[in-house]
């Protein structure tokens, strides 16, 4: 090696050593979060406008917590069923899920009727992840076939494995994540669709996935809204025949059973440009059904924009017994660990949902663990625990059930473990589950609900036994029971 090369070699090493020494010297002055999260991760990430407004208006003062270390006391329902009072730390809120548990009881004991769950979520449930396994687990025990309610178009159609879904590119779509004042009210899925392109064919196609309980498109039924249009129709091929069906958009919400149960179906729309369409429902009319209403970027706040009258109409036709809200991914990391603003606004959203879907119980599922890089090491993000605590507080205040997904996963550092496991249960973004992890999460959710249901059955039997053995009283009996009358004197 000549002298010039030796000189360059030693100069290079000197530069490296100086850089290392400088880093060590300045390390204490560097932020712990090496790669801080921005409010918007990129132009392709959708964050609902209501969340952005709420963050900008949030009171960044000290958060007031008046529920920690308190006991949540419950009142018995008209039948006399009362779950034990709960410490805030371990709050599950089974008492508030009694209407849903009773529906399950009727399904299990009498093998009749049906129950329905609306599962609202963000990208964690995109492509039917988590929800598809929750659906299967419930149908394993309580019966039912069908994928439930499906949008006309969907950003996750290509990644969904529970139904094959295709559609023409000329549908006009409005979403409650992007539009505050839609031209027509959003459907139960937070979307409204229009077949406004009269120059090209407008169509949608569905095909059964062939998976368990999803071998056919059960009773495909179109849901659509009100319009002055009198000449609209749909048509589809049945063998060599073309079947036409007229649309009658007279009511705020209309339904049309398109065909009997089939394996696949392509529906074409004719002269339907002014009609708001919401989607198709596929179920066999018995057992239990779970609708996945996931929206990437959703904070949960847009649910407050659902039209009460239209939702009442959906409730009359679909009959939801449980509303599940699983949000949090898009609420983390907005410059403060104070989530009182989110707690306050989501409590209002839950109150609105109770008016939209009267009689339905509501279940809040907290944010999952999420990891961020601190001091070159992936750790639980500092916002996870404050957010999950705020979600628990509004669940208590709004009188809903609650599942702490963060603690079920394993608590602090659990997402790192899920990512690094072999085989992995979560993706390298340290935020989202893969199919393996999503199935495990679904099992956690189902198991907690089932544990509450099993406890409910025991408490129910005790309440009825106590009631039947009680002395006759002249006092009037409660009349507002949500339970069927024929269950009182078993």
> What's the pLDDT at 8?
56
Whether the predicted pLDDT of 41 surpasses 50: no
Same domain, 99 and 157: no
Instruction: Assess contact for 434 and 393: CB atoms under 8 A.
Output: no
How sure is the predictor about 371, in pLDDT bands with cuts at 50, 70 and 90?
very high
Indicate whether 17 belongs to any domain.
no
The number of residues in the chain equals: 490
Instruction: Assess contact for 255 and 317: CB atoms under 8 A.
Output: yes
> What's the pLDDT at 183?
87
Average pLDDT taken over every residue of the chain:
87
In sequence order, the β-bridge partners of residue 114 are: 287
Q: Domain count for the chain, please give it.
A: 2
Taking the C-alpha atoms of residue 418 and residue 424, their distance in angstroms, rounded to an integer, is 6
Classify strands 264-270 and 114-121 as parallel, antiparallel or unpaired.
unpaired
Indicate whether 26 belongs to any domain.
no
Whether the predicted pLDDT of 443 surpasses 90: yes
Indicate whether 27 belongs to any domain.
no
Same domain, 274 and 318: no
Same domain, 135 and 161: no
> What's the pLDDT at 425?
98
Same domain, 101 and 164: no
Indicate whether 16 belongs to any domain.
no
Same domain, 335 and 219: no
Q: Inter-axis angle of helices 98-110 and 131-142, to 10 degrees?
A: 40
Question: If we measure between CA atoms, which residue out of 129, 257, 116 comes closest to residue 188?
Answer: 116
> What's the pLDDT at 396?
97
Stretch 165-191: mean pLDDT? 93
Same domain, 443 and 336: yes
Stretch 369-387: mean pLDDT? 95
Copy the structure tokens of residue 345: 């606004």
Same domain, 440 and 332: yes
Q: pLDDT by residue (tens digit) across 190-236?
A: 999 999 877 889 999 999 999 999 999 999 999 999 999 999 999 99
Domain hosting residue 321, numbered range? 50-144+287-470+477-490
For residue 153, the domain's CATH number is 2.60.120.1360
Q: What is the pTM (predicted TM-score) of this model?
A: 0.86
Question: If we measure between CA atoms, which residue out of 36, 365, 467, 265 comes closest to residue 257?
Answer: 265
Whether the predicted pLDDT of 128 surpasses 60: yes
Instruction: Assess contact for 398 and 351: CB atoms under 8 A.
Output: yes
Same domain, 375 and 427: yes
How sure is the predictor about 50, in pLDDT bands with cuts at 50, 70 and 90?
confident
> What's the pLDDT at 78?
81
Inter-CA distances, 40 with 48, 175, 236, 373, 410, Å: 11, 19, 43, 18, 28
> What's the pLDDT at 40?
36
How sure is the predictor about 113, in pLDDT bands with cuts at 50, 70 and 90?
confident
Whether the predicted pLDDT of 16 surpasses 70: no
More confident residue, 387 or 334: 387
Indicate whether 335 belongs to any domain.
yes
Copy the structure tokens of residue 312: 């009442």
Copy the structure tokens of residue 460: 């129910």
Among the candidates 253, 284, 315, a domain finishes at 284
> What's the pLDDT at 145?
97
Q: pLDDT by residue (tens digit) across 317-354?
A: 999 999 999 999 999 877 678 999 999 999 999 999 99
Among the candidates 236, 258, 284, a domain finishes at 284
Q: Which of 66-70, 193-197, 451-455, 464-468 has the highest mean pLDDT?
A: 451-455
Taking the C-alpha atoms of residue 417 and residue 301, their distance in angstroms, rounded to an integer, is 31
> What's the pLDDT at 93?
97
Q: With the C-alpha atoms ordered 105, 108, 111, 116, is the resulting torsion angle positive or negative?
A: positive
Copy the structure tokens of residue 285: 């009319």
Stretch 61-81: mean pLDDT? 78
Among the candidates 266, 284, 302, a domain finishes at 284
Instruction: Assess contact for 467 and 488: CB atoms under 8 A.
Output: yes
Indicate whether 5 belongs to any domain.
no
Same domain, 323 and 458: yes
> What's the pLDDT at 489?
34
> What's the pLDDT at 166?
97
Indicate whether 64 belongs to any domain.
yes
More confident residue, 22 or 326: 326
Same domain, 251 and 308: no
Copy the structure tokens of residue 395: 């669940």
Instruction: Assess contact for 296 and 432: CB atoms under 8 A.
Output: no
- Of 295-299, 305-309, 331-335, the one with minimum mean pLDDT is 331-335
Stretch 354-370: mean pLDDT? 98
Indicate whether 38 belongs to any domain.
no
Stretch 169-193: mean pLDDT? 93
3-state secondary structure the chain: CCHHHHHHHHHHHHHHHHHHHHHHHHHHHCCCECCCCCCCCCCCCCCCHHHHHHHHHCCCCCCCCCCCCCEECCCCCCCCCCCCCEEHHHCCCHHHHHHHHHHHHHHHHHCCCEEEEEEEECHHHHHHCCHHHHHHHHHHHHCCCCCEEECCCCCCHHHCCCEEEEECCCCEEEECCCCCCCCCCCCCCCEEEECCCCCCCEEEEEEECCECCECCECCCEEEECCCCCCCCEEEEEECCEEEEEECCCCCCCEEEECCCCECEEEEEEECCCCCCEEEEEECCCCEEEEEEEECCCCCCHHHHHCCHHHHHHHHHHHCCCEEEEECCCCCCCCCCCCCHHHHHHHHHHHHHHHHHCCCCEEEEECCCCCEEEECCEEEECCCHHHHHHHHHHHHHHHCCEEECHHHHHCCCCHHHHHHHCCCCCECCCCCCECHHHHHHHHHHHHHHHHHHHHHHHHHHHHHHHHHHHCCCCCCCCCCCCCCCHHHCCC
Same domain, 301 and 382: yes
Same domain, 221 and 184: yes
For residue 350, the domain's CATH number is 3.40.50.1110
């Amino acid at each position: 090696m000549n002298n010039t090369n030796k000189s360059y070699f030693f100069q290079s090493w000197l530069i490296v050593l100086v850089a290392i020494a400088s880093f060590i010297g300045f390390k204490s002055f560097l932020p712990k979060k090496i790669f801080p999260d921005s409010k918007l991760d990129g132009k392709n990430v959708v964050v609902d406008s209501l969340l952005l407004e709420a963050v900008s208006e949030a009171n960044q003062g000290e958060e007031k917590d008046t529920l920690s270390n308190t006991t949540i006391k419950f009142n018995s329902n008209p039948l006399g069923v009362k779950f034990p009072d709960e410490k805030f730390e371990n709050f599950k809120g089974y008492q508030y899920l009694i209407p849903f548990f009773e529906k399950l009881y009727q399904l299990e004991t009498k093998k009749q009727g049906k129950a329905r769950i609306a599962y609202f979520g963000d990208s964690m449930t995109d492509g039917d992840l988590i929800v598809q396994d929750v659906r299967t687990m419930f149908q394993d025990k309580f019966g039912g076939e069908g994928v439930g309610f499906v949008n006309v178009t969907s950003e996750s159609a290509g990644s969904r494995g529970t139904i094959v879904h295709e559609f023409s590119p000329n549908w006009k779509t409005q979403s409650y994540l992007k539009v505050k004042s839609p031209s027509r009210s959003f459907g139960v899925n937070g979307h409204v669709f229009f077949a406004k392109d009269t120059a090209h064919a407008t169509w949608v196609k569905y095909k059964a996935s062939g998976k368990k309980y999803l071998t056919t498109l059960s009773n495909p039924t179109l849901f659509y809204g009100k319009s002055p249009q009198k000449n609209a129709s749909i048509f589809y091929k049945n063998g060599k025949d073309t079947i036409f069906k007229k649309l009658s958009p007279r009511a705020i919400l209309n339904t049309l059973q398109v065909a009997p149960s089939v394996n696949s179906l392509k529906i074409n729309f004719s002269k339907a440009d002014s009609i708001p369409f919401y989607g198709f429902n596929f179920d066999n009319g018995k057992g239990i059904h779970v609708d996945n209403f996931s929206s990437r970027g959703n904070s949960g706040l847009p649910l407050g924009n659902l039209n009460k009258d239209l939702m009442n109409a959906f409730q009359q036709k679909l009959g939801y017994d449980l509303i599940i809200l699983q949000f949090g991914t898009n609420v983390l990391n907005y410059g403060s660990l104070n989530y009182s603003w989110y707690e306050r606004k989501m409590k209002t959203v839950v109150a609105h949902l109770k008016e939209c879907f009267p009689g339905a119980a509501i279940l809040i599922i907290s944010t999952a663990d999420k990891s961020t890089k601190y001091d070159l090491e992936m750790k639980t993000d500092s916002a996870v625990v404050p957010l999950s605590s705020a979600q628990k507080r509004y669940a208590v205040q709004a009188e809903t059930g609650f599942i702490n997904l963060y603690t079920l996963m394993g608590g602090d550092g659990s997402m790192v473990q899920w990512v690094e496991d072999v085989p992995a249960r979560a993706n390298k973004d340290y935020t989202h589950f893969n199919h393996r992890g999503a199935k495990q999460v679904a099992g956690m959710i189902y198991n907690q609900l089932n544990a509450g249901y099993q406890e409910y059955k025991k408490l129910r039997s005790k309440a009825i036994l106590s009631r039947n053995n009680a002395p006759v009283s002249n006092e009037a009996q409660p009349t507002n029971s949500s339970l069927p009358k024929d269950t009182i004197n078993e």
